[in-house]
Structures are given as C-alpha cells and as structure tokens.
Structure 1
Amino acid sequence: MADQPHVAVLMFIAQRHAERRILDFLADEGFDDVTLAQARVAARVSQDGIRLTELAEQAQITKQACGELVGQLERTGYVERVPDPSDARARLVRLAARGREAQHRAREMEQRIDREWEQHLGAKRMAELRRSLADLRSITDPWA
C-alpha cells in the first residue's frame, strides 16, 4: 500500500473532514462566532468543568494560548469560569448555556456523519473501524 498515506494521516483526513462539517453546521445554526482553535478547546470542556492547566495539556497548547482561547469563548458565552469546589484558590472552565446548546447541535452532526460513514462502509466495517479505533485509544489517549 505504498500509494496510500500512513494510516494516521488517513485518520487525520477523516477527522478534519468531520471537524469542518461540524463547524459549518454550527455556523448555519447560528453559532458562527467559533473558530477552529476555539472549537478544539471547547470540545474538551464538560459541564462539570476542567482546570485551565489540564485543558491546555489535553489540547496540547500552552497555558497562555489556552487562556486566550478560553477568554474568547467566555466573552462569546460558550464557557464560564467558576470556583473549583475542591480548591477555593482554583477555577474551573465549564460549558455555559450557549456552549451546551452548541455541543448538543454538534452531537447531532456527529451522528449524521456516523450514519453517512456507516452507509458508505456498511454496518460491519463501521463497527470494526469503531472497535479498532477504540482499541487504539488505550495506547494513544492518555486522557481516556
């Protein structure tokens, strides 16, 4: 298969396609003020919240860059910073109402993409792909 890119590149191409489709869908749904960099950070924020240092580590960006992106997301109402109940000195970044709505809409597009890919590959191959990628996660995702 010398004529094919490395499997990691093939996964990246598929991921980039899905990411673009989701961002375009969100823009069409009224969430047109989110950049790709902001979306990549926001995707790692849950309603329970995450500390900025952990968020930066997961996003693989500097704490300063993460702080800037979180500030932008905060100003547009996607996230909020709240006190960390386990440490009064620390703050958590968590999804605000607008962020929860955007995440809900993004999940809709993710499901649509899953259905399209399954239609293209067939149910068996899609299930095999999902299992294989889930298995790889144990050696590729330190936050799994």
Structure 2
Amino acid sequence: MSSTLPPRGSDLPWLLLLGFRALIDDVHAELAEAGHPGFRSLHGVAFKAIGDGVTASELGRRLGVSKQAAGKTIEGLEREGYVERVADPADARSKIIRLTARGVEVQQRAFEAMARLRAQWAEQLGEEQMVAIEEGLRAMTADRETRFDIPGWFKG
C-alpha cells in the first residue's frame, strides 16, 4: 500500500487561513478586554468597506450582500455605537453610514493590537523574514481587487 504525498504547497491556503485566524482571534480577544466584547470579525470587514462613509446600498455591494443584509449589519453596529447614519450632502433622500467616535476608537485599538501581534511574529520569525512574507503577499495580490465579501465567499 503506497501513500501519495500531497504536492509541495498544497497546505499553503490552510497555513494562510490559520495565520489569518490566529491574528484576528488575538485582536478580538484584546478588543474584548478593552471593553468591546461584541466586536466580531464581520464588523472589521464592514469597517473596511465603510471607509470614510458609504450608503447602505453601496455597503451591500461592497460586502456582496443584499441591501437588507447590509441594513442588519448597520443596525447591529449602530446598537453597539460604532456607526451612525448622517444626511448625504449629495442626495437628501439618502443616508451615509460612517464610524462614530466609538467606532474610530475600536478601529484604532484593533490597529494597535495588530501592530503588537506583527511585532510578536517578527520576533519569532525575524524581521527580515516577516518583511519578506509581507512583500511577497503584496506582490502576489497586487493585481487583485480589494473585496470585502469574505463571509459570503466562504458560504459558496
């Protein structure tokens, strides 16, 4: 009985996913300790998609979900005090979703936590190797569109 070894690199997607998961889980643990226990991975993706402000329809498009699903995400973020709806200066019938001061604060905490985690990884791997990983991933993804529809992508 012979066993066939998988080709080199076949575990690369899993390793990238595990690394992603480790970083995100650790960031969320820090956020929970800092008073944001309800902040979820989807919220971070939504924050990226919201950027400097976005309509509910555009948020839905960016996240790859319906306007109704985007509305539910927005409602949850509003309940937590992370976003607010303000009048759209370009369209009186529309509202812009933007981060509140609390939203900016949790985002800043997440950035700081990620910087600390990156430093820990660099300490373990070496700064040169860490930079090589980051530069390599940037090079391999440079021609890719930034997509925020991660939750939908996993659903198939």
Task: State TM-score, norm by structure 1.
Answer: 0.84
Distance 1:84 1:11 in 2: 39
Q: Please say if 1:10 is aligned against 2:24.
A: no
Distance 2:64 2:24 in 1: 17
Q: What is the identity percentage for the equivalent residue pairs of Structure 1 and Structure 2?
A: 30
- Which residues of structure 2 form unaligned runs of 5+? 1-5, 148-156
Q: Could you say if the C-alpha distance between residues 42 and 115 of structure 1 is closer, same or farther in structure 2, counting changes exceeding 3 Å?
A: same
| Aligned residue in 2 for 1:118 | 122
Distance 1:86 1:136 in 2: 38
Which protein is bigger by CA-based radius of gyration? Answer: 2
Which of residues 45, 48, 56 in structure 1 aligns to 2:50?
Answer: 45
* 1:70-81 correspondence to structure 2 within 5 Å: 70-81=74-85
Distance 2:61 2:121 in 1: 31
* 1:56-135 correspondence to structure 2 within 5 Å: 56-135=60-139
Compute the displacement of 1:79 (Å). 0.4
Distance 2:40 2:96 in 1: 22
Compute the displacement of 1:3 (Å). 6.7
Distance 1:119 1:103 in 2: 24
Q: Could you say if the C-alpha distance between residues 43 and 25 of structure 1 is closer, same or farther in structure 2, counting changes exceeding 3 Å?
A: farther
- Which residues of structure 1 form unaligned runs of 5+? none
Give RMSD over aligned pairs. Answer: 2.1
Q: Please say if 1:19 is aligned against 2:24.
A: yes
Compute the displacement of 1:120 (Å). 1.9
Compute the displacement of 1:4 (Å). 5.5
Distance 2:84 2:10 in 1: 40
Distance 1:31 1:17 in 2: 18
Where 1:93 maps in the other structure, the secondary structure is strand
Distance 1:61 1:117 in 2: 34
Compute the displacement of 1:138 (Å). 2.4
* Number of corresponding residues: 142
Distance 2:141 2:59 in 1: 19
Q: Could you say if the C-alpha distance between residues 53 and 138 of structure 1 is closer, same or farther in structure 2, counting changes exceeding 3 Å?
A: farther
Higher relative contact order (CA 8 A, sep 6+): 2
Distance 2:135 2:65 in 1: 29
Contact 1:83 / 1:92 at 8 angstroms: preserved in 2?
yes
